[in-house]
Amino acid sequence: MKKVAVLMAVLALFAAAAFAAPKHWVVGFSQIGSESEWRTANTISVQNSFLEDTSFTLIYSDAQQKPENQIKALRSFIARKVDCIVFTALVETGYGPVLEEAKRAGIPVIMIDRDVQASDRHLRLTIMGSDFVKEGEKAGTWLADYLKKKGLDDGKKQINIVELQGTTGSAPAIDRKTGFATVMKTHPNWVLTRSQTGNFTSSEGKQVMEAFLKADKNIQVLYAHNDQMALGAIQAIKEAGLKPGKDIIIVGVDAVKGAFEAMVAGEMNCSVECSPLLGPQAVQAVRDLRDGKKLPARIWTIEGIFDETNAAAALPTRQY
């Protein structure tokens, strides 16, 4: 009888443990700012996903495009002894010491979207997001196919390309340039006549494109590291009396709604998708971590490519 009672008590303990509410975790999220439609969608996705799970409290910090604000935010998360840090690095360098501090404090760091430089990667647990090099390659490959399909590239006549780079030193700017340059190397008649940062914003994209056009209107292609800059550049092209999407072929990255509208209007030619909807994946990773599971070193996002052949059909279902 006594044995049965003990067994029942043990079983009850196991059942209680199995159904116990998950431990409440406080998570610090250091975001870079709000420079684009993409970024806004990304912030909302992360905030809403954590809000939906009441076993988490998210502390949000907006760095307003300043790496020093991110370092301050990470230090305040460490001082508050958060359970985990979710971090998007504005630029790749400069975060080594603060990541060391987080490691010493035993606080795991999960990167989303933008990574830190290779030599600091041992200080964070994982990175989830897009393959920016592949995005640059996809943009270049799309361009090669398009020029061929339209009979615009005989392999001899020079094709002048201008590039609007993202924020200097950021992972997407470095990698998207690298990926596109790889494809350029296989087309000796493609010439990068001008390349400058537009800081991922529409206003700077417009300003820089104005300067490009003022210097030389002989431009066949604009490659923009994000759609936001491409949309600003479209304004500059129109104001210069040229037809965007026709006189100048425009290739962007992100696949935000504005780019779809421009593609449907015939003013932009292609956008390589880069999904900002990383919230559900981020919450799942933090949950797994809390449950003691080992996270993969890299969690990739699967993404498509859009142009005049599929933009109109996809537009009504776009979420960002």
Residue with Cβ nearer ligand AHR (83 or 115): 115
Instruction: Check residue 200 for interaction with ligand AHR (CB under 6 A).
Output: yes
| Identity of the residue, 128 or 147, whose beta carbon is nearer to ligand AHR in the bound complex | 128
Site for ligand AHR (CB under 6 A): which residue of 28, 172, 198, 245?
Answer: 172
Tokens 């990470």 — which residue?
74
Kindly tell me which of 33 and 244 has the beta carbon lying closer to ligand AHR: 33
User: Which tokens go with 288?
Assistant: 């797994």
Return d(Cα 19, Cα 9) in angstroms, integer: 15
Q: Pick between residue 120 and residue 175 the one whose CB is nearest to ligand AHR.
A: 175
Closest C-alpha to 282, from 86, 52, 74? 86
Q: How many CA atoms lie within 13 A of 238 on its CB side?
A: 11
Q: Which helix (H) or strand (E) holds 272?
A: strand 270-273
Q: Contact between 206 and ligand AHR (CB under 6 A)? A: no
Q: Does 253 bind ligand AHR (CB under 6 A)?
A: yes
Of the pair 35, 92, the CB lying nearest ligand AHR is at: 35
Q: Is 255 in the site for ligand AHR (CB under 6 A)?
A: no
Give the span between the Cα atoms of 120 and 103, in whole angstroms. 12
Sheet holding 84-87, edge to edge: 56-62, 25-31, 84-87, 109-112, 126-129, 298-300
Number of residues interacting with ligand AHR: please give it, by CB under 6 A.
13
Q: Tell me how far apart the alpha carbons of residues 216 and 251 are, in angstroms, rounded to a whole number.
A: 19
Q: Sketch the per residue contact string, 256 through 275, with ligand AHR: x for CB under 6 A, - otherwise.
A: ------------------x-
Nearer to ligand AHR, 131 or 210 (CB): 131
| Interface with ligand AHR, residue 163, by CB under 6 A | no
Query: Interaction with ligand AHR in 48-107: which residues (CB under 6 A)?
Result: none
Q: Which amino acid is at 44?
A: I
Q: Which of residues 11-50 bind ligand AHR (CB under 6 A)?
A: 35-36, 38-39
Q: Minimum distance from CB of 239 to ligand AHR (Å)?
A: 23
Pairing state between β 270-273 and 305-307: antiparallel
Rounded CA separation 29/162 (Å): 35
- Where does this chain bind ligand AHR (CB under 6 A)? 35-36, 38-39, 113-114, 172, 200, 226, 228, 253-254, 274
